[in-house]
C-alpha cells in the first residue's frame, strides 16, 4: 500500500503527459487471496508498469452461517421443545468479550439456581425502568413480544447457536428477523411479567437447554467470555444443582475429555454428626442438597439421625 502511495505521488508530476491505464487482474490462484492491480502509464514510454497487491479480507464466518435454517420460530419462546440434546455439548465463540447488556455497573440480584422452591433459569441484573438494554453479542432477533411470566422479552440467536433472552422489558425496540450487532440497543429495561422490581432477567440457552449464564460469561466489568470453546454438562443446565443466592464453584470444561471426566464422580460416605443439617453438609462438602437427597433417596424435609450414613457424590 505504501509503495502504491509513493508511486501515485511521483506520477502526479507527470500528470500532463500521462493518463493512467489501470488494469485489474483478479488473482485466482487459490494460494493467494489478493487482488492484484497493474498500473500502466499510457502515453509515456520507458516507465515500467507496477503491480500492487491488495489482500482480500476474509469474510467472517458469522456472515456465512445460516442461523435461521432450523427452529426459526417467532411465535414460541422455546421452539426446541422436542429436540433431544446430547450431553456434554460444545459452544464455540469467536469473540473473547461480550458487550454489557446495560450501561451501568452490573449488580447481580439473583443467580441461576434453585429459588424459593422453584428453578430460576436466568440471572437477574439490577436496572432502573427505562434504562437501555443491548444485545451482548451479534445475531438475529428470533422473538420479540410479550410472553407470560417473562413479560416483554427479546430473544437473539447468535451465530454459534447460542440464544440470549432479555426479559421484563418495558419497551421492545426491535422486530423479529432484525440483524443486531453486538452492543446494539434492543429495548428498555422494566418490570413486566412475573417480576418484583425493575431488573433484567437474562437467559442463556442452546437448542432449548438453559445454561447457567455465569458458566459462559464473567459478569464483572471486564465482560469476558470465559473460554472460546466451552463444553456444557448437565450440571450447568439444571437449576436444581445451583442456588440463586450464592456463586457456584466454577470449573470450566474446554475439551470434551474434561467434560466427560467431570462426570465420573467419587463417592464418599458421610456419617451424620450432632448439629448437622442438610444445608450444613451441603455447604461443607460442596454437594447440593438436591444431589444429596437424590443419591440417598431422602426428602429435603427429612430429619437426620446422628450416626446416619449418607452417600456424597463429589
Ligand atoms: Zn430472574
Same domain assignment for residues 236 and 278 = no
Same domain assignment for residues 240 and 286 = no
What's the CA gap between 197 and 43, in Å, rounded? Answer: 77
Cis, bond preceding 88 (omega within 30 deg of 0)? yes
Q: Considering its fold, how many domains does the chain have in total?
A: 3
68, 140 Cβ separation under 8 angstroms: yes
Same domain assignment for residues 18 and 145 = no
- Determine the distance separating the centroid of ligand 1 and the alpha carbon of 52, expressed in angstroms: 57
Do the domain assignments include residue 205? yes
Looking at 211, 237, 256, the residue that finishes a domain is 256
Contacts of 169 (CB under 8 A, 6+ apart): 133, 151, 152, 153, 154, 187, 188, 189, 190, 192
- Determine the distance separating the centroid of ligand 1 and the alpha carbon of 93, expressed in angstroms: 25
- Determine the distance separating the centroid of ligand 1 and the alpha carbon of 210, expressed in angstroms: 13
**How confident is the model over 129-183, as pLDDT tens digits?**
999 999 999 999 999 999 999 999 999 999 999 999 999 999 999 999 999 999 9
* Averaged pLDDT for residues 1-16: 49
Considering the chain, what percentage of its residues have pLDDT values greater than 70? 80
Same domain assignment for residues 45 and 117 = no
- Determine the distance separating the centroid of ligand 1 and the alpha carbon of 138, expressed in angstroms: 23
- Determine the distance separating the centroid of ligand 1 and the alpha carbon of 203, expressed in angstroms: 8
- Cα of 202 vs its chain's centroid, Å: 11
- In which domain, by residue range, is 194 found? 89-256
Question: Could you identify the residue written with the cell 418484583?
Answer: 196
Same domain assignment for residues 139 and 180 = yes
**How confident is the model over 193-237, as pLDDT tens digits?**
999 999 999 999 999 999 999 999 999 999 999 999 999 999 999
Residue 313 is predicted with a pLDDT of: 84
- Determine the distance separating the centroid of ligand 1 and the alpha carbon of 299, expressed in angstroms: 26
Same domain assignment for residues 293 and 246 = no
Question: Could you identify the residue written with the cell 474446554?
Answer: 254
Residue 283 is predicted with a pLDDT of: 85
Q: Which residues surround ligand 1, an ion (CB under 5 A)?
A: 122, 124, 201
- Determine the distance separating the centroid of ligand 1 and the alpha carbon of 128, expressed in angstroms: 15
The answer to which of 40-44, 238-242, 289-293 has the lowest mean pLDDT is 40-44
Looking at 40, 55, 70, the residue that finishes a domain is 55
Do the domain assignments include residue 125? yes
User: Residue 61 above 80 pLDDT?
Assistant: no
CATH number, position 274? 3.10.350.10
CATH number, position 101? 2.70.70.10
Burial of 309 (0-12, 13-18, 19+ CB in 10 A): exposed
What's the CA gap between 126 and 277, in Å, rounded? Answer: 33
73, 157 Cβ separation under 8 angstroms: no
| Structure-block grid coordinates of residue 249 | 464453584
Looking at 39, 55, 71, the residue that finishes a domain is 55
The answer to which of 76-80, 107-111, 310-314 has the lowest mean pLDDT is 310-314
Mean pLDDT (the chain) is 86
State the pLDDT confidence band at 266, using cuts at 50, 70 and 90: confident
User: Residue 1 above 60 pLDDT?
Assistant: no
- Determine the distance separating the centroid of ligand 1 and the alpha carbon of 199, expressed in angstroms: 8
| Structure-block grid coordinates of residue 242 | 445451583
Nearest to 128 by CA among 156, 153, 109, 148: 109
Do the domain assignments include residue 77? no
State the pLDDT confidence band at 3, using cuts at 50, 70 and 90: low
| Structure-block grid coordinates of residue 51 | 503491480
Same domain assignment for residues 204 and 103 = yes
Same domain assignment for residues 221 and 158 = yes
State the pLDDT confidence band at 263, using cuts at 50, 70 and 90: confident
Question: Could you identify the residue written with the cell 459452544?
Answer: 91
Residue 21 is predicted with a pLDDT of: 39
- The helix/strand/coil state of 125 is strand
Contacts of 226 (CB under 8 A, 6+ apart): 215, 216, 217, 218, 252
**How confident is the model over 96-110, as pLDDT tens digits?**
999 999 999 999 999
- Report the predicted TM-score, pTM, of the whole model to 2 decimal places: 0.69
Same domain assignment for residues 223 and 118 = yes
Considering the chain, what percentage of its residues have pLDDT values greater than 90? 70
- The helix/strand/coil state of 130 is coil
Same domain assignment for residues 44 and 127 = no
- Determine the distance separating the centroid of ligand 1 and the alpha carbon of 150, expressed in angstroms: 9
Amino acid at each position: 500500500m505504501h509503495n502504491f502511495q509513493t508511486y501515485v505521488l511521483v506520477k502526479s508530476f507527470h500528470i500532463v503527459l500521462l493518463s493512467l491505464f489501470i488494469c485489474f487482474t483478479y488473482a485466482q490462484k487459490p494460494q493467494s487471496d489478493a487482488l492484484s492491480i497493474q498500473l500502466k502509464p499510457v502515453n509515456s514510454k520507458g516507465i515500467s508498469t507496477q503491480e500492487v497487491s491488495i489482500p482480500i479480507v476474509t469474510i467472517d464466518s458469522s456472515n456465512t452461517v445460516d442461523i435461521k435454517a432450523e427452529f426459526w420460530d417467532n411465535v414460541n419462546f422455546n421452539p426446541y421443545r422436542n429436540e433431544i440434546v446430547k450431553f456434554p455439548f460444545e459452544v464455540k465463540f469467536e469473540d473473547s468479550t461480550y458487550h454489557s447488556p446495560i450501561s451501568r455497573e452490573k449488580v447481580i440480584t439473583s443467580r441461576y439456581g434453585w429459588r424459593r422452591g422453584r428453578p430460576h433459569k436466568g440471572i437477574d441484573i439490577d436496572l432502573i425502568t427505562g434504562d437501555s438494554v443491548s444485545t451482548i453479542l451479534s445475531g438475529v432477533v428470533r422473538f420479540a413480544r410479550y410472553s407470560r411470566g417473562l413479560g416483554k422479552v427479546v430473544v437473539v440467536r447468535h451465530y454459534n447457536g447460542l440464544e440470549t433472552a432479555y426479559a421484563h422489558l418495558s419497551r421492545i425496540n426491535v422486530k423479529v428477523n432484525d440483524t443486531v450487532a453486538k452492543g446494539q440497543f434492543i429495548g428498555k429495561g422494566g418490570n413486566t411479567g412475573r417480576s418484583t422490581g425493575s431488573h433484567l432477567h437474562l437467559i442463556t440457552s442452546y437448542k432449548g437447554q438453559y445454561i447457567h449464564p455465569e458458566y459462559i460469561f464473567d459478569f464483572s466489568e471486564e465482560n469476558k467470555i470465559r473460554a472460546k470453546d466451552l463444553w456444557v454438562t448437565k450440571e450447568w443446565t439444571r437449576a436444581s444443582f445451583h442456588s440463586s443466592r450464592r456463586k457456584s464453584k466454577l470449573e470450566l470444561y474446554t475439551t470434551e475429555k474434561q467434560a466427560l471426566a467431570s462426570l465420573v464422580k467419587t463417592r464418599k460416605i458421610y456419617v451424620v454428626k450432632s448439629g448437622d443439617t442438610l444445608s450444613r453438609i451441603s455447604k461443607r462438602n460442596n454437594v447440593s442438597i438436591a444431589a444429596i437427597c437424590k443419591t440417598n433417596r431422602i426428602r429435603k424435609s427429612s430429619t437426620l439421625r446422628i450416626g446416619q450414613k449418607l452417600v456424597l457424590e463429589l
